Structure 1
Amino acid sequence: MGAKEMKICLIGTVASSTLNFRKTFIELLIQEGHEVYVFATDYSEKTSAAIKALGAEPVSYQLNRGGLNPFADITSTIQLKNKIKTIAPDIVFSYFAKPVIFGTLAAKLAKVPRIVGMLEGLGYAFTPEPPHKKESFKKKLVRAVQIFLYKISFRYLDRIIFLNPDDPVDLLEKHKIKVKDVKILGGIGVDLEKFKPTPPSLDPIRFLFIGRLLAEKGIFEFLKAAEIVKQQHPEVEFIVLGAIDKDNPSSLSQNDLEYYKQANIITHPGHVDNVQAWIEKSSVFVLPSYREGVPCSTQEAMACGRTVITTDVPGCRQTVKDGVNGILIPSYSANELSEKIDFLINNPSMIIYFSEKSRIFAEEYFDAKTQNQKLFKFILKS
């Protein structure tokens, strides 16, 4: 193995997510002559074959994804350490909260020379609740445990990568977590050759929401705003892509979803695989989220040349220059959102203007090729 060629372990969670969001990055590593081992918790024959087709090696491992079971976590970490030790990699790169914690500890136990982690957002435990809602005891507990585990594991990282500049402030500085080195990546990026710009629909005007149907994604504000706007503009369409998460206490209920569908306020095709086709049929992309890393859905919408309405919160504000490629609104405000939607309906020329700027912005900041090269440097170089 030449000096440049290295063994690199990528540790994530589910295989489908790795294939969706790490595919072009894995291709880049292979292209550069590195041996790549991709760890996931749920390989099937199909996903395992897809990883092999990229030229990488799939590795199954166990991770107690939810819950707080220290014995399961210790067992998983020891098993993971043994798998890493067998490979003897030069670098371990983990992403998502639990893999960063336990992947880092396992890599340290396996004496890996370089360990890098990436948090693509702080997640549910660090996302603020709306002013009228009290934070649950469970959420406070999960956050406290996460901070404790970050404090233990982060000291062994050679570098931690965040997507936006707010996350390291709200996590590391606020909770006094020590790390050797911090880098800000920006968005993961989008394949600009796949997501091409198309003219936005103006007859009818369609507003599109993509995401899990959870309070923190802003689904309630989107639905309420749609209900308000529909009274004045029954011809305008509101489309919701995404599934209900029955196990999540902040999820939209099936009853509420049925109400909005029956009242003809929204169209809900559910979870779809052809997201791009739905973006192309839309006019404006809306994400009233309470907090993000840097949302991939918004980057894809921008690459297709879509106006964006999103909240002025960490992660979301990185995707919109207010009044240039879209509109920033305060979080938790269905009224404010309905006013901005109404403004765009009454000024369709602004939809065209913002759309053109969105694509330019995507090319400048969210080209997957550029972002993958940047991530590659962050992982490899001290």
Structure 2
Amino acid sequence: MAKMLFIVPYAKCYLNFYWDLIESLVQDGHRVTAVAPDTDAEVALTAIGVRCIRIPIKNTGINPFYDIRSVYYLTRILREERPDILCCYSIKPILYGALAARMARSRRVFVTVTGLGYLFTGRTWKQRLLLPLVSFLYRFAFQHCERAFFENPDDLRLFKQLGLIKRNNTTIVNGSGVNLDKFTMTGNRPVISQVPLTFILIARIIKDKGIYEYIEAARILKAKYPAVKLSLLGPFDSNPSAISKTQVAKWMEEGVVNYLGEAADVRPYLRDSNIFVLPSYREGTPKSTLEAMAMGLPIITTDVPGCRETVIQGFNGMIVPVKNGGALAAAMERFILNPQLAEVMGTNSRELAETKYDVHKVIGKVRDMIQI
């Protein structure tokens, strides 16, 4: 049996994205250690036999002294724990985890690119200044890992174009998958013919998730269909593109959107909705979309990497141009004018989730590549 160590940017990743993988490893007798900067998942992880270690690491922002400290602690942990396999998820765990693994002489290192992040999606002076450094660290990480997993082909293609990957040691997986036994179509969903349609966007409250476009579309639709409901669910964030609580409160006062707060379990909110909307600027593979698909909601999303893969146009939803609130409103209006589309496309969403995004299929592929 193997001794495995995982590094994530925040502890809730274990609950929201990698729980099924870790649980399967523990059930098979492997020794799992979970590293994170906080303790939000410690009770749940400890209950299934996972050892938890807290480490100072921030997934956003650049502070050289803090980041050097992060690498130091990671190196010390790896030297003490001596894991057979190290798995790093997201930007800083990959960049600093690979560097620490090299210094600690950890041999079997696997990294998962869950999206490109803030530095690759904009053109500010700060992004242009930091991108060469981050690119150098990515090259180092890919050179010294056994395998790199990507959640969509566009991210892999871009990394190859930028010269960040020079070895043929990559695999594309369909995100972290979705548990089809947990997210089901059963339950008391509102009857479309009897109530106004409810649209829902579930994401971190940041600009890059397309929230401003969602609000623009909401204003257009509310002016024509006052009874339609538009909901927003998700946590506030420290990301550079974060939207303030004050701004969300103004939208609430305006009456264009209903902010539902943050939820540990999104299923009741999906069950109370008819159509899922994610007008994101770029994703790895959005877990929120997969969960909505599994629960039988049609999807409206943008024609960008990570999002376009979740929709077959006209089958389980609609794909719209990115950063275009008018086009988003037009797609949403199609469901208002023909509500039965939601039922048909929602059933198709579930079918697509079963064939492509079943978490057990994703886990099986990852474990085959890791050979464990």
TM-score normalised by length of structure 2: 0.93
- Counterpart CA distance in 2 for 1:87 and 1:249 is 34
Select 1:76's aligned residue among 49, 70, 78. Answer: 70
Q: How does 1:120-135 map to 2 (within 5 A)?
A: 120-128=114-122, 135=123
Select 2:61's aligned residue among 67, 81, 92. Answer: 67
Contact 1:225 1:337 (C-alpha < 8 Å) held by counterparts? yes
Of 53-62 and 290-299, deviating more is 53-62
Q: Which amino acid counterpart does residue 194 of structure 1 have in structure 2?
A: K
What's the C-alpha RMSD, in Å, of the aligned pairs?
1.8
- Counterpart CA distance in 2 for 1:367 and 1:305 is 14
Q: Report the counterpart of residue 27 of structure 2 in structure 1.
A: 31
| 1:22 and 2:18 correspond | yes
Q: Which amino acid counterpart does residue 123 of structure 1 have in structure 2?
A: G
Q: Report the counterpart of residue 306 of structure 1 in structure 2.
A: 297
> Structure 1 pair 333/65, CA: closer, same or farther in 2 (3 Å)?
closer
Select 1:277's aligned residue among 268, 276, 294. Answer: 268
> Structure 1 pair 77/256, CA: closer, same or farther in 2 (3 Å)?
closer
| 1:101 and 2:95 correspond | yes
Q: How does 1:224-303 map to 2 (within 5 A)?
A: 224-245=216-237, 247-303=238-294
Encode CA deviations 1:327-346: one digit per residue, 9 max, x unaligned. Answer: 00110111111111111111
- Counterpart CA distance in 2 for 1:75 and 1:267 is 41
- Counterpart CA distance in 2 for 1:312 and 1:160 is 25
> Structure 1 pair 43/263, CA: closer, same or farther in 2 (3 Å)?
closer
- Counterpart CA distance in 2 for 1:60 and 1:221 is 37
Contact 2:32 2:51 (C-alpha < 8 Å) held by counterparts? yes
TM-score normalised by length of structure 1: 0.91
- Counterpart CA distance in 1 for 2:62 and 2:227 is 48
Encode CA deviations 1:171-203: one digit per residue, 9 max, x unaligned. Answer: 232244434501001121111111111456421
- Counterpart CA distance in 2 for 1:163 and 1:276 is 23
Contact 2:37 2:58 (C-alpha < 8 Å) held by counterparts? no
| 1:145 and 2:141 correspond | no
- Counterpart CA distance in 2 for 1:252 and 1:56 is 35
Q: Report the counterpart of residue 160 of structure 1 in structure 2.
A: 148
| 1:365 and 2:359 correspond | no
Contact 1:285 1:301 (C-alpha < 8 Å) held by counterparts? yes
- Counterpart CA distance in 2 for 1:323 and 1:355 is 11
Select 1:220's aligned residue among 195, 206, 212. Answer: 212
Select 1:49's aligned residue among 34, 43, 60. Answer: 43
Contact 1:155 1:180 (C-alpha < 8 Å) held by counterparts? no
Q: Which amino acid counterpart does residue 209 of structure 1 have in structure 2?
A: L
> Structure 1 pair 140/302, CA: closer, same or farther in 2 (3 Å)?
same
Q: Which amino acid counterpart does residue 42 of structure 1 have in structure 2?
A: D
Select 1:211's aligned residue among 197, 203, 206. Answer: 203
- Identical counterparts, % of pairs: 36
The unaligned stretches of length 5 or more in structure 1 are 129-134
Contact 1:260 1:266 (C-alpha < 8 Å) held by counterparts? yes
- Counterpart CA distance in 1 for 2:60 and 2:239 is 11
Deviation, structure 1 residue 64? 4.2
Contact 1:209 1:285 (C-alpha < 8 Å) held by counterparts? yes
> Structure 1 pair 144/184, CA: closer, same or farther in 2 (3 Å)?
same
The unaligned stretches of length 5 or more in structure 2 are none
Which SS does the other structure have where 2:62 is aligned?
coil
Q: Which amino acid counterpart does residue 169 of structure 1 have in structure 2?
A: R
> Structure 1 pair 201/312, CA: closer, same or farther in 2 (3 Å)?
farther
Deviation, structure 1 residue 19? 2.4
- Counterpart CA distance in 2 for 1:75 and 1:7 is 25
Deviation, structure 1 residue 218? 0.5
Contact 2:138 2:164 (C-alpha < 8 Å) held by counterparts? no
Q: Which amino acid counterpart does residue 148 of structure 1 have in structure 2?
A: F
Contact 2:59 2:91 (C-alpha < 8 Å) held by counterparts? no
Q: Which amino acid counterpart does residue 237 of structure 1 have in structure 2?
A: K
Contact 1:101 1:154 (C-alpha < 8 Å) held by counterparts? no
Select 2:324's aligned residue among 329, 333, 343. Answer: 333
> Structure 1 pair 23/243, CA: closer, same or farther in 2 (3 Å)?
closer
Encode CA deviations 1:86-106: one digit per residue, 9 max, x unaligned. Answer: 222211111111111111121
Count matched residues: 368
- Counterpart CA distance in 2 for 1:22 and 1:50 is 13
- Counterpart CA distance in 1 for 2:7 and 2:251 is 40
- Counterpart CA distance in 2 for 1:324 and 1:38 is 39
Deviation, structure 1 residue 78? 2.9
- Counterpart CA distance in 2 for 1:29 and 1:119 is 21
- Counterpart CA distance in 2 for 1:255 and 1:112 is 46
> Structure 1 pair 96/299, CA: closer, same or farther in 2 (3 Å)?
same
- Counterpart CA distance in 1 for 2:212 and 2:345 is 25
Of 307-316 and 261-270, deviating more is 261-270
